[in-house]
Amino acid sequence: MKYFFLSILVLTIISCKKKNDDDLAFQLIYPSYFPTPVYNFKNNELTKEKFELGRKLFYDGILSSDNSVSCGTCHSQVHGFADHNVNFSSGVNNLKGTRNSPAITNMIWSPAFMWDGGVNHIEVFSVAPITNPVEMNETMSNVISKLNNNSEYKNLFKIAYGIDNITDQAMLRALTIYMSMMVSCNSKYDKVRQGKVSFSTDEAEGYELFKQKCASCHSEPLFTNYQYKNNGLDSIYTDLGRGRITFNANDNGKFKVPSLRNVELTYPYMHDGRFWTLEQVLEHYNSGIKHSATLAPELASGLPMTADEKKKIIAFLKTLTDYTIISDFKFAPQ
Ligand code: HEC
Ligand code: HEC
């Protein structure tokens, strides 16, 4: 009898814990040293149902014209939600764009999207890949009618958003909820900041060098200052970058400073995926800076680094890999 009660008690504790874990899994959790997110969930409160619907949409080819390409095709979890080892991802009909698919974790902190910042709200972002001929090549009206003809989606939108007719707004908001949960904050760097582990000697020295040479643009804790900078890739620009949006010649050749979280996994690098390794990236800053009118002044004489310094900076960059998010089953196609 005693054992019977004890096992009931144990079972109750286990099941309570399970429930709490489930609830916790659908709260937005980020460290105290992160700033307040730009996206505030106003009019789109975070719920498990919306998250699961957003995840289903993210991995569903139904958003593309021939049902073959999903968001997940170009934003792969194991690569920190960047591309699969290609400089330009293939969309519908195997067409390729001219820019590298960026990692899309921590998007709710980003004030603007795309390498050139051409989209300024995450809730409208997904219209861009859906309607881009070299990505999903679809029209919004066609996506919405495909979804409305699908009884499973009808039901899921009813549960998540309480609507009988699926609208583009609800679809975009569900995708936003799924992306908003992609918070990458469990790297070794974070554990060091939280006092749980320490850096190795190389990592610690690399961190100091990083702060001197790189952090003016790749600022902690998100490893970007979200500004547009020309980091000296070309002297003649084939892609005008920010200038394409502002039509201001002073912005030509500038691109949004990318976050370096999970950078070990998100190769190839730069807006056109021209570098395949971190060694090549560091060699670019060391000896490859190309001069032009809009080059960031702090890069005018390059960032000279010895072989040993480069090695240490790379050791530090690898502490930004977050194994939790790349293996978290809740982000995988179910
Ligand atoms: C064919 C590949 C492809 C598909 C499919 C695709 N993307 Fe992307 N994604 C890209 C590329 C390339 C960029 C960078 C585009 C640019 O800067 O011009 C990008 C950029 C983004 C960004 C902005 C990242 C940043 O740092 O500014 C987000 C968010 C995003 N995609 C989400 C999605 C979602 C959601 C879907 C599905 C609705 C999707 N993508 C479908 C390739 C793709
Ligand atoms: C003046 C600002 C600035 C400084 C300083 C700077 N970067 Fe960058 N970095 C950028 C910009 C802008 C890009 C994107 C350029 C592009 O793709 O056209 C970038 C891209 C990168 C990328 C590629 C990321 C990706 O996902 O494609 C890496 C890696 C990187 N920088 C590492 C470093 C390191 C390491 C240092 C210091 C040695 C450094 N950066 C210093 C502005 C800067």
Per-residue pLDDT band at 20 (split at 50, 70, 90): low
Instruction: Please indicate whether the domains covering 48-183 and 188-324 agree at the CATH topology level.
Output: yes
Q: Give the list of residues 6+ apart from residue 263 with CB closer than 8 angstroms, or none.
A: 269, 278, 317, 320, 321
**Rounded Cα–Cα distance for residues 75 and 25 (Å):** 21
pLDDT value for 92: 85
Compute, in angstroms, the gap from residue 128 CA to the centroid of ligand 1.
Answer: 8
> What are the helix (H) ranges across 96-198?
122-125, 127-131, 140-148, 151-161, 168-180, 188-193
Superfamily of domain 48-183: Cytochrome c-like domain (1.10.760.10)
Task: Break the chain into its structural domains and give their ranges.
Answer: 48-183, 188-324
Q: Would the CB of 313 count as within 6 Å of ligand 2? A: yes
Q: Output the residue whose Cα is nearest ligand 2's atom 19.
A: 257
Ligand closest to 227 (CA) is: 2
Domain 188-324 classified CATH 1.10.760.10? yes
Pocket-testing residue among 189, 217, 242, 278, ligand 2, by greatest number of atoms within 8 A of Cβ: 217
Task: Name the 3-class secondary structure at 36.
Answer: coil
Q: Would the CB of 101 count as within 6 Å of ligand 1? A: yes
pLDDT tens per residue across span 83-122: 877 888 888 888 888 899 999 999 999 999 999 999 999 9
pLDDT tens per residue across span 130-140: 999 999 999 99
Between 93-102, 253-262, 301-310, the lowest mean confidence (pLDDT) is in 93-102
Compute, in angstroms, the gap from residue 14 CA to the centroid of ligand 1.
Answer: 40
Q: Would the CB of 97 count as within 6 Å of ligand 1? A: yes
pLDDT tens per residue across span 25-71: 788 999 999 999 999 999 999 999 999 999 999 999 999 999 999 99
102 to 216, 241, 257, 270: CA distances (angstroms): 21, 15, 11, 9
**Rounded Cα–Cα distance for residues 299 and 234 (Å):** 13
Mean pLDDT of the chain: 92
Q: Output the residue whose Cα is nearest ligand 2's atom 37.
A: 214
Q: Would the CB of 255 count as within 6 Å of ligand 1? A: no
pLDDT tens per residue across span 198-247: 999 999 999 999 999 999 999 999 999 999 999 999 999 999 999 999 99
Q: Would the CB of 265 count as within 6 Å of ligand 1? A: no
Per-residue pLDDT band at 17 (split at 50, 70, 90): very low
pLDDT value for 15: 39
